[in-house]
Structure 1
Amino acid sequence: MIQLKKATVADLPTIQKIAKVTWGPTYTDIIGEEQVEYMLGKMYNIDALQAQIAQGHKFLIAEQGTKKVGFASYSRDEGDAFHLHKLYVLPEVHGQGVGKLLMNEVVSKVRAEGGKYLRLNVNRYNKAKDFYESAGFKIKESVDNEIGNGFLMNDYIMEKTIG
Structure 2
Amino acid sequence: MELSYRVATHKDIKVIREIANKTWFVTYEPILGKEQPKFMFDEIYSEDALANQMDEGQTFILQFLGDDVLAFASFSVKTDTVNTFKLNKLYLNPDFQGGGYGRKLINEVEQTVKNLGAENLDLNVNRYNKARFFYEKVGFEIIKEEDIPIGTYWMNDFVMRKVLC
1:91-102 aligned within 5 A = 91-102=94-105
**Which residue in the other structure is 2:12 paired with?**
11
Distance in 2 of aligned mates of 1:69 and 1:108: 19
SS in 2 for 1:62: strand
Q: Does the residue aligned with 2:154 lie in a helix, a strand or coil?
A: strand
Aligned-residue offset at 1:65: 2.1
Q: How do residues 15-94 of structure 1 correspond to structure 2 at under 5 angstroms? A: 15-78=16-79, 79-94=82-97
Measure how far apart 1:138 and its partner are. Answer: 0.6
**What is the DSSP-based 3-state SS (H/G/I as helix, E as strand, rest coil) of the residue aligned with 2:108?**
helix
What's 1:153 paired with? Answer: 155
Which blocks of at least 5 consecutive residues in structure 1 are unaligned?
none
CA offset digits 1:98-157 (Å, max 9, x no partner): 111110011001110111110000000001000111111110111111100x21101000
Q: Give 1:97 deviation, angstroms.
A: 1.4
Corresponding residue for residue 125 of structure 2 = 122
Tell me which amino acid in the other structure corresponds to 1:134: K
Percent identical residues: 41
Q: What's the Cα RMSD here?
A: 0.9
How many residues are treated as equivalent by the alignment?
A: 162
- The question of 1:138 aligning with 2:141 is answered yes
Partners of 1:116 and 1:68 lie apart in 2 by 29
Structure 1 residue matching 2:61: 3-state secondary structure: strand
Distance across 1 between alignment mates of 2:39 and 2:155 = 12
Q: What are the superposed Cα offsets for residues 25-81 of structure 1, whole Å, 9 maximum, x if unpaired?
A: 111100111111111100001111111111110000111222211100001113201
